């Protein structure tokens, strides 16, 4: 009898896990963030992700994710995005992302003293071949370490609008 009661209590919990687990975005190939130790992002601390591309004919949108505290002292951030594909040819792009207006108003979604950003840097991009792509994100500001960076990440999703 005790076993039956335990089973009855487990059913709602298992159901919730199944429902919440199925809510993931089917278009997302990857959407990950990496916490930055002590909110201090050093030059040598590259945030790395591997992305498996199964269909090179499909366009993808690529996003840079960052979370900063309200003590971050700049209105922008520069990064270096390192990309190496299955052909092992490295490419590096320097990018700037605007985080605040000139009056200091944060442009990201705020919660407490943290501001989240997901900013597109490649839209309808077609990878040249199937395979594993290695991405590394490096901060490229004057400060080393760059203070008040909480998390950094990457999102790659299939572009369903094409």
Q: pLDDT at position 15, please? A: 46
What letter would DSSP give residue 63?
Answer: E
Give me the mean pLDDT over the 91-114 stretch: 94
Give me the mean pLDDT over the 34-44 stretch: 97
125-140 confidence digits (pLDDT tens):
999 999 999 999 999 9
> Given a cut of 70, is residue 59 above it in pLDDT?
yes
Stronger pLDDT, 110 or 25, i.e. the higher one? 110
Q: What dihedral do alpha carbons 40, 41, 45, 48 form, nearest 10°? A: 120
pTM of the model: 0.83
Q: How far apart are CA 18 and CA 22, in angstroms?
A: 6
> Given a cut of 50, is residue 7 above it in pLDDT?
no
Domains and CATH numbers, the chain: 27-158 (2.60.120)
Question: Pairing state of beta strands 76-84 and 90-98?
Answer: antiparallel
CA neighbor of 129 nearest in space, from 54, 61, 60: 54
| Out of 13-22, 47-56, 84-93, 100-109, least confident range | 13-22
> Given a cut of 60, is residue 60 above it in pLDDT?
yes
> Given a cut of 70, is residue 12 above it in pLDDT?
no
Q: Sign (positive/negative) of CA torsion 119, 73, 113, 37?
A: positive
Cβ atoms 81, 124 nearer than 8 A = no
> Given a cut of 60, is residue 16 above it in pLDDT?
no
Instruction: List residues bridging with 19 in a β-sheet.
Output: none
Stronger pLDDT, 86 or 3, i.e. the higher one? 86
């Amino acid at each position: 009898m005790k076993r039956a009661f335990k089973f009855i209590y487990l059913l709602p919990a298992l159901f919730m896990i199944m429902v919440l687990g199925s809510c993931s975005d089917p278009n997302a190939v990857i959407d990950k963030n990496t916490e930055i130790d002590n909110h201090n992002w050093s030059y040598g601390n590259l945030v790395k992700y591997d992305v498996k591309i199964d269909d090179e004919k499909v366009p993808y949108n690529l996003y840079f994710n960052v979370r900063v505290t309200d003590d971050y002292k700049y209105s922008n951030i520069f990064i270096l995005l390192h990309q190496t594909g299955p052909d092992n040819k490295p490419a590096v792009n320097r990018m700037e992302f605007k985080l605040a207006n000139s009056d200091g108003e944060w442009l990201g979604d705020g919660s407490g003293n943290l501001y989240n950003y997901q900013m597109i840097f490649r839209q309808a991009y077609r990878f040249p071949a199937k395979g594993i792509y290695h991405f590394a994100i490096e901060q490229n500001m004057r400060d080393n370490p760059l203070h008040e960076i909480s998390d950094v990440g990457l999102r790659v999703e299939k572009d369903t609008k094409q």
